[in-house]
Amino acid sequence: MRSHTAYLWIQTPERRGILHLTPKVREEVRRSGIQEGLCLVSSMHLTASVIIQDNEPGLHQDIMEWLENLAPFRKDYQHHRTGEDNGDAHLKNLLCHLQVIIPITKGDLDLGPWQEIFYLEFDGQRRKRVVIKILGE
């Protein structure tokens, strides 16, 4: 078994945002030379998530609004006692999860017809990383 690791550095200009990662992840799969295996894509920060979803701007807006309704920005989170102001970002991460695993078949991501990989930022405006770990033959 072989492995390949790459890091994406991300810094969103706004506090919240959605970035399309599929082309970058697909390029790393190609670079790895792995034909059959698995690809892990994971946020290395607890205030961001990686998801698989449809690439449709209206849906992206719906997702962010839904998350804001479930975990709204508030000043009274217990986490804020540490001096942070991103308690809601941690809760949003819990709802969307940290990472995804995608099969690799014939040297490419084996995604469904509408599936794309996205990075969801909940506490941006600072530099963060995503790890891509590819394992296989």
95 exposed, middle or buried (CB, 10 Å; 0-12, 13-18, 19+)?
Answer: middle
Question: Does residue 77 form part of some domain?
Answer: no
Residue numbers of the chain with a pLDDT score lower than 50: none
The answer to whether 39 and 133 are in contact (CB under 8 A) is: yes
Question: Does residue 88 form part of some domain?
Answer: no
- Count how many domains the chain has: 1
pLDDT at 23: 98
Question: Does residue 101 form part of some domain?
Answer: yes
Report the CATH number at residue 55.
2.60.120.460
- Which residues span the domain enclosing 130? 2-60+97-136
Full DSSP string of 41-99: EEESSTTEEEEEE---HHHHHHHHHHHHHHS---S--GGGGGT---HHHHHHHHHH-SE
Question: Does residue 66 form part of some domain?
Answer: no
pLDDT digits (tens, 9 = 90+) for 103-127: 999 999 999 999 999 999 999 999 9
pLDDT at 54: 98
pLDDT at 8: 98
